[in-house]
Chains A and B, each alone.
Chain A
């Protein structure tokens, strides 16, 4: 693994763990808090590790080599469109039918994992064009 990717993992893992902990805490604390201010704070708090994750991702895209950057940018383009239009279509389907699949926040919680999963799959697909030999 190249140095740039070791640094990425070293910085990204703590941020993503912090995000997961805050999301889980959101579920546990949801019942106990009555004040609107505290409820809003609890919702906004996971954005702090998200900002860190954005910084880490931008740094790795900037610092990796040009072919790695091309592969990542193509994969990000595919993943963001698949995720955006996927959830948009899912929301429209819920609206068009009487299907009560899940509460809005339960659907929203899956957006990020779905984005990461589709990015991983898109990256494997794009990388097939450039085998390692």
Chain B
């Protein structure tokens, strides 16, 4: 699954640590999501979408399965 989390975060001027604090996760988790190494659970994906004021579909894009 691809996502636009890094782009959205940098647009806000936030560091990975800031985003991690706002989502109450570790910086390792934010980095793993941004680099596509880890797909977040539905509750965390909703949390990310809520934080950026977008829908889940606007942030997460299904990749080739």
In the complex, residue of chain B having the shortest beta-carbon distance to the beta carbon of A133: B31
- Distance between Cα atoms of A52 and B19 in the complex (Å): 34
CB of B16 within 8 A of CB of A133, answer: yes
> What's the tally of chain A residues with a CB closer than 8 Å to chain B?
13
- Whether the Cβ atoms of A2 and B26 lie closer than 8 Å is yes
A130 interface residue (CB < 8 Å to B): yes
Contact B44 A132 (CB under 8 A): no
Chain A positions within 8 Å of B28 at CB level: 67-68, 127, 130-132
Interface SS of A by simple majority: loop
Q: A31 in the interface, Cβ–Cβ < 8 Å?
A: no
Given known contacts A130-B32, A130-B37, A130-B38, A67 and B26 CB-to-CB distance under 8 angstroms: yes
Complex CA–CA separation, A70 to B26 (angstroms)? 13
In angstroms, how far is the closest chain B Cβ from the Cβ of A8? Answer: 13
A66 at the interface (CB under 8 A from B): yes
Which residue of the partner chain A has the closest CB to B21? A2
A65 interface hit (Cβ, 8 Å)? yes
Residues of B within 8 A of A64 (CB): 26
Does B10 lie at the interface of the complex (its beta carbon under 8 Å from any beta carbon of A)?
Answer: no
Complex Cα gap A41–B48 (Å): 53
Residue B8 is within 8 A (CB to CB) of chain A in the complex: no
Q: Is the Cβ of A68 less than 8 Å from the Cβ of B31?
A: no
Other than the known A65-B25, A67-B25, A127-B28, what 4 A-B pairs have Cβ atoms closer than 8 Å?
Answer: A67-B38, A68-B26, A130-B29, A131-B28
On B, residues with C-beta under 8 Å from A are: 16, 24-29, 31-32, 35, 37-38, 40-41, 44
12 A-B pairs (CB sep. < 8 Å): A2-B26, A65-B25, A66-B44, A67-B25, A67-B26, A67-B28, A67-B38, A130-B28, A130-B32, A130-B38, A131-B31, A133-B16
Residue ranges of A at the interface with B (Cβ–Cβ < 8 Å) = 2, 64-68, 70, 127, 129-133
